[in-house]
């Protein structure tokens, strides 16, 4: 469900710059920033880099870019 929200002009300008740098639309950039923020609030011990890499790893699995690890040798 789409909903209009008023945002601070300075925040939107920052999102606009990041959107251009990361090749996203401004709304998608704001969604991404909100997603990162929500994860960070729920997991304050995780670094931004860890959160970013975890999201990338999940996207790779969802898009079948990588395969599930399968052990080649038997455990002792």
Whether 36 shows a pLDDT value over 80: the answer reads: yes
Question: Which has more confidence, 29 or 76?
Answer: 29
Mean pLDDT rounded to a whole number for the chain:
92
Structure tokens at 74: 């038997």
| Model confidence pLDDT, tens digit, residues 42-70 | 999 999 999 999 999 999 988 988 877 78
Quick one: residue 64, left, alpha or beta (phi over 0 = left, psi -120 to 50 = alpha)?
left
How far is Cα 18 from Cα 26, in angstroms, rounded to an integer?
8
| pTM, to two decimals | 0.75
| Model confidence pLDDT, tens digit, residues 4-19 | 989 999 999 999 999 9
Q: How far is CA 73 from CA 34, 51, 58, 68, 70, in A?
A: 42, 31, 26, 15, 9
Angle between helices 26-42 and 48-62 (to 10 degrees): 110
- In the chain, where are the structural domains located? 9-62
């Amino acid at each position: 469900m789409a909903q209009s929200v008023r945002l601070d002009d300075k925040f939107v300008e920052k999102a606009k710059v990041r959107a251009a740098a990361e090749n996203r639309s401004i709304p998608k950039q704001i969604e991404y920033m909100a997603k990162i923020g929500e994860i960070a609030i729920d997991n304050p011990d995780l670094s931004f880099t860890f959160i970013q890499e975890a999201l990338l790893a999940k996207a790779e699995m969802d898009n079948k870019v990588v395969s599930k690890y399968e052990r080649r040798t038997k455990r002792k």
